[in-house]
Structure 1
Amino acid sequence: MFAKATAKFLEEVDPTGNLIPVSSCNDSYNMLSIVRKEKARWLFQKPKYVATGFTLNDILRGDNLIHPAVTLTEFANYTQSGSDKYQAGLEANLHPELAQLTVEHKGTSKHNISFGSLKKEDVHLPKLLEDSKGRFLDMDHSLIKQAREKDGTVFGLVTQKIVTTQTSTISQSDEQANTLGGQIRHMVLKMCLKANASFCKGRSSELTIQPHTTIAFKQYVLIVKPKGDFDLGFMHEKSIPSVTFQTDDWYPPGCTWLTEDVAMLSHKFALLSGLKASIRASLLQHLISVMMQCGAVHLLERVLSQMLNGKCPFLDFVEIEPQRQALQVMLDVLSDEDNGLQTEDASSPLGAFHLVTSALAEMPDDGLAVLVSSCTPRVLRSLELLVQCVIENGEMFLNSDDLAPLTGETFQLTELLFSSCGVELQRDGDVLKTKLSESYQPQPLVLCLAIKGLASMAKC
């Protein structure tokens, strides 16, 4: 939840991408902190920046510490709220005097981000360069040794950060309400039967953020030379070939990119569907429980990344107790020695499960809220066939048995789910066609991977 709030904040105040959002309010970023860039594991993800716990002074030779000159200025007063509403209904009149059935589904997704007054802390770069002149890094430091052992490691130096100045909050809630009403009459027997039923379910979370919490930072690449002298890369990171990941125009026109990208990852779903039925059912059940906690999927993805990197998973960074409980149960399932998920390898079932979780974490909130209510085997099977239609740029017949679970209200919710990820479902008589949005973003790929992954665990 915190990670999504900081990302949304930077989308509005920093469209150039100079600032990096902080993913957890428990992460500590001080001036001249060393951060490590981790390459994205999957194509649709952005690279991550992880605090190492060290500062520039920690890895310098000598006892003379660098004391940076820092200026403090007002940055912004940020409060943002929004809501998405969706409604689907089905009314059937079998005969004016015989039967009438009404089904209605309503949903609301709300969020509120209140960071309040924010300030910007800036290191005076000319003074930093002057103080760093003639200084050398300790090449025997554990952090430097680790980087030398692993090719391609990129370090950055924090030189600017955005901090809160007061207690602030982030809240999110999703509510769904269903109503079923019916009336049956029989004129001869003078009988009248009426039935009405309704239920409401939802999920909500609120996070309180303390003053002086860093929500975003700017870093410059730390260029380490063989003898220990160093420079700072003051160019924008996207202009440095060794550390760039991808640009926004990496998709070629047409649908070929989606076909190829899903094909490259399709073997991952075979790893999941090849697990024992009881293990698949347990994974799906507990993943749904995590999905029902606002913001918890993003946290699960982070925990799985720890496991794939060979680290012992921990939940210290989880701020909300219901999220922690759902994640702990999920960890217990993943740690069971009998389920075959302990292999710390991206080509293992655990790596495949991480792919599905990563796709879910990238989905928009309204789409995820609809998807969590669609996780039944029959519906997921139909959704899987529908995303295959998207991948192949094909078409399906609306009256086919394959789409039978998606009729009426469920189909309207399916339209909402797909449109939230940039895929339009178009009806042409009895034929259903799909169309990708004009702006090629990762969302269609994320949708396909999320549904195919969930369906692979729901197979009977």
Structure 2
Amino acid sequence: MFATATKNFVEEIDDGSLIPVSSLSDSLSPLTLVIKRNRFFPWQKPKYRPTDFTLNDLLTGDKPISPVVVETVLLKFHGTYGDSISANVEANLVRVNFNVEGKDTSKLQSSFGTLKKEEVDVQQLLVDSRNRILDMSHCLIQQTRQKHKEVFGVVKERIVTTQPCSVIEEVQQAGQLGGLLSLCGPKLTKVCVKENSSLQKDSNITMEIPPHTVLAYDIIELVVKSTGKYYLCLMSDTSGGFEVDGPVKKNVVALPCASGGTIKSSPLKRELDSLTDHFQLLAGLARAKRSSLLQLLRTIMKDGHAVSLLENILDQMCLGLSPDLGDVEDGSLKQTFQAVLDLVGQPQTDRSPSLLSATHLVVSALDEMTEEDMSVLGSCSPPLLQALDLLVQQSVVEGGVSSLRDAGLAPLTEEQGYERAQRLLASSCVLLKRKGDELQTEIINPPRGSPPTIVLCIAVRALASSGHGI
């Protein structure tokens, strides 16, 4: 609940540099050490894990660094996400999260009030860090440097509440609903619902948040030499790491990024072609197994935090570690996760894809999507998933034109089907246009931090493969 509220907040006000806080217990003072973990796939965003240590705890010598912190009033924030459209940051913001199947709805109201920004003076930090040495025998350094995908960062900026505030979640259950989803532009801006029966409130939870609570933060990464000398990564295109790991290289998939014109799909096609075995494995499962997997994924897709938890579990399993469900507190969610694990089994010893690796792939893609997009995608019927897959292959990957006369695209001739396709493609910075019986796609300028097109392509292809013939 708190994690969802901070994630929504960051998506509204930031261009991709801020990291939402996931737990109220994360105090994150200036110069707190945060471990950044790079992921399996190059299109995945890194994950961040705050530690209980600050930079001073790892320095040798008796003189600590006292950071110079500049405070400024940032903004006032009140937002409502759900079937009630109301949000503003000193102005009206509009965003919704609605289950288009109409089985249930939820509303999350975040009233953070006036927020302030605290920034560390980086120039002074550079001066203070000159000739300072890290204690390379410290247990945190020893444990982190053994994992080649993990690097150190220190908190250089944080967004903090200044007054008592609250997050309110209302969950409502409907016996039956008929609905019309109306979309406009790259964000979901309006939902019009025709009710066949009244909604019945299921739960109402209020979380009181004290002042001085950190909602989001930014870090500056460290390059750590084997001698203990460290350097601050001042440029956005430089990455931190330990010298023992060798030169740090950014691994980025070449994806189309130019605005206007036909999408240049060759790099995207090559990347998807390399994953064909995973999609074929999903499509080749027994019908009952495919149906069970699709249903489990749809259940988990209703909760973005649940998707992240499952991705972490599958991440560890792909590294050969035993799955640990100890951190999953919700009993129902734990049962769902266990059902997934029972279904996918253990990784294979050879290089061929396993059901575990294929499931890990699709869950990793879903973890990069917003909850709104997962809600829309999770509501798509198997025939609509097949149509979306065909559209993605013909118009996005191949850069061609799709014809609505194609029987496989029939679900897109319906208003709901077309609008859902338009919404999902827009979230990946792809504009869907309809000219008569033809569908064309055009790339638009992707904002910083937006998920690459391949994320949607993988999610659609994998879910369509699982729902084939169901």
Structure 1 Cα separation of the partners of residues 442 and 104 of structure 2: 25
Residue 359 of structure 1 is matched in structure 2 by: 365
**Partner secondary structure for residue 215 of structure 1:** strand
* Deviation of the 1:68 alpha carbon: 4.8
User: How big is each residue's C-alpha offset from its partner over 1:400-438, in whole Å with a ceiling of 9 and x where there is no partner?
Assistant: 432344553543444444454344554444x33221333
**Partner secondary structure for residue 37 of structure 1:** strand
Q: TM-score, normalised on structure 1?
A: 0.73
Is residue 219 of structure 1 aligned with residue 215 of structure 2?
Answer: no
* Deviation of the 1:454 alpha carbon: 0.8
Structure 2 Cα separation of the partners of residues 3 and 85 of structure 1: 15
* Deviation of the 1:201 alpha carbon: 8.3
Report 1:116-265 matches (<5 A).
116-123=113-120, 135-151=132-148, 153-165=150-162, 166-169=164-167, 171=169, 177-178=177-178, 198=196, 208=207, 210-211=209-210, 212-233=212-233, 235-239=234-238, 242=248, 251=257, 254-256=263-265, 257-265=267-275
Structure 1 Cα separation of the partners of residues 423 and 122 of structure 2: 47
Residue 244 of structure 2 is matched in structure 1 by: none
The AA in structure 2 aligned to 1:289 is T
Confirm or deny: 8 A CA contact 1:147 1:153 kept in the other structure. yes
The 3 A distance-change label for structure 1 pair 52 and 347 is: farther
Structure 2 Cα separation of the partners of residues 299 and 240 of structure 1: 26
Residue 115 of structure 1 is matched in structure 2 by: 112
Structure 1 Cα separation of the partners of residues 47 and 274 of structure 2: 22
Confirm or deny: 8 A CA contact 1:6 1:215 kept in the other structure. yes
Residue 304 of structure 1 is matched in structure 2 by: 314
Residue 54 of structure 1 is matched in structure 2 by: 53
Residue 388 of structure 2 is matched in structure 1 by: 383
* Deviation of the 1:206 alpha carbon: 6.2
Confirm or deny: 8 A CA contact 1:10 1:19 kept in the other structure. yes
* Deviation of the 1:339 alpha carbon: 4.1
Q: Which one has a larger percent strand, Structure 1 or Structure 2? A: 1
The 3 A distance-change label for structure 1 pair 31 and 351 is: farther
* Deviation of the 1:384 alpha carbon: 2.2
Residue 183 of structure 1 is matched in structure 2 by: none
Report 1:277-296 matches (<5 A).
277-293=287-303, 296=306
Structure 1 Cα separation of the partners of residues 441 and 209 of structure 2: 45
Confirm or deny: 8 A CA contact 1:436 1:444 kept in the other structure. no
* Deviation of the 1:397 alpha carbon: 4.1
Confirm or deny: 8 A CA contact 2:318 2:347 kept in the other structure. no
Q: Which runs of 5+ in 2 are unaligned?
A: 80-86, 88-93, 181-193, 241-247
Structure 1 Cα separation of the partners of residues 151 and 123 of structure 2: 23
How many pairs does the alignment contain?
A: 420
The 3 A distance-change label for structure 1 pair 231 and 423 is: closer
The AA in structure 2 aligned to 1:305 is D
The 3 A distance-change label for structure 1 pair 445 and 200 is: farther
Structure 2 Cα separation of the partners of residues 51 and 281 of structure 1: 38
The AA in structure 1 aligned to 2:271 is D
Higher Cα Rg: structure 1 or 2? 1
Residue 336 of structure 2 is matched in structure 1 by: 330
User: How big is each residue's C-alpha offset from its partner over 1:216-274, in whole Å with a ceiling of 9 and x where there is no partner?
Assistant: 223222232222233333x1333559475669986357232432332233332223334
Structure 2 Cα separation of the partners of residues 220 and 340 of structure 1: 39
**Partner secondary structure for residue 237 of structure 1:** coil
Residue 457 of structure 1 is matched in structure 2 by: 466
* Deviation of the 1:366 alpha carbon: 4.0
Is residue 447 of structure 1 aligned with residue 456 of structure 2?
Answer: yes
Structure 2 Cα separation of the partners of residues 157 and 457 of structure 1: 42
Residue 268 of structure 1 is matched in structure 2 by: 278
Confirm or deny: 8 A CA contact 1:287 1:330 kept in the other structure. no
Confirm or deny: 8 A CA contact 1:363 1:446 kept in the other structure. yes
Selected match of 1:398 from 391, 394, 404: 404
Q: TM-score, normalised on structure 2?
A: 0.71
